[in-house]
Amino acid sequence: MSEQQSWHGTTILSVRKGNEVVVAGDGQVSLGPTVIKGNARKVRRIGQKGEIMVGFAGATADAFTLLERLEAKLDRHPGQTMRACVELAKDWRTDRYLRKLEAMMAVADKDVSLVLTGQGDVLEPEDGIIAIGSGGNYALSAARALIDMDMTAEEIARKAMAIAGEICVYTNGNVLLEKIELEDAK
């Protein structure tokens, strides 16, 4: 009996440095060893004014289901990204339907960067760098190596994504990046 092929691939990276925060995602979607699409849009802006950036990895339908649920939580808790993410994570962990969803999300706004998982995790990195997906560890390593360089968050994200694309066969160089300029540098 042959194993059913599954959708693979994504690298999502978020970098917070100086007066900006960015979320970048590659565009490759693969089915087994075959590239199905090279320009998928895995990074979106949500919120009433597009003030929140979300990148997702995993099954596409599952990711969109979670994105819709996060938007509903944000409608209930406007301006409270952390609270909306915690509420989503609670539902994701306890709801039978949501528990079966196979995706992860990186969420960033002007104040906070978070990783959400199906295990009920809402994680805020100490260093302002988040990476998820098949090439996530490569992008994370590259971004951490570059964070102390004289580079902006966007420059770090683009370089780290290029490095991940050179190493991970499920990541390509077609990068979509969203950026928020922060009012006060941290």
Whether the Cβ atoms of residue 14 and residue 130 lie closer than 8 Å to each other: yes
- Of 12, 8, 58, 11, nearest to 30 (Cα)? 8
Expressed in angstroms, the distance from the first to the final Cα of the chain is 55
Q: Is 34 annotated as a binding residue?
A: no
What is the rounded distance in angstroms from the CA atom of residue 181 to the CA atom of residue 158? 16
Task: Please name the amino acid found at residue 57.
Answer: A
In the chain, where do the E strands start and end? 7-8, 11-17, 20-26, 29-31, 34-37, 43-46, 52-58, 103-108, 113-116, 122-123, 129-133, 175-181
Q: Is 65 annotated as a binding residue?
A: no
Task: Give catalytic residues, as residue numbers.
Answer: 10
Phi, psi of 50 (to 5 degrees): 70, 25
Annotated binding-site ranges for Na(+)? 165, 168, 171
Binding-site members are 165, 168, 171
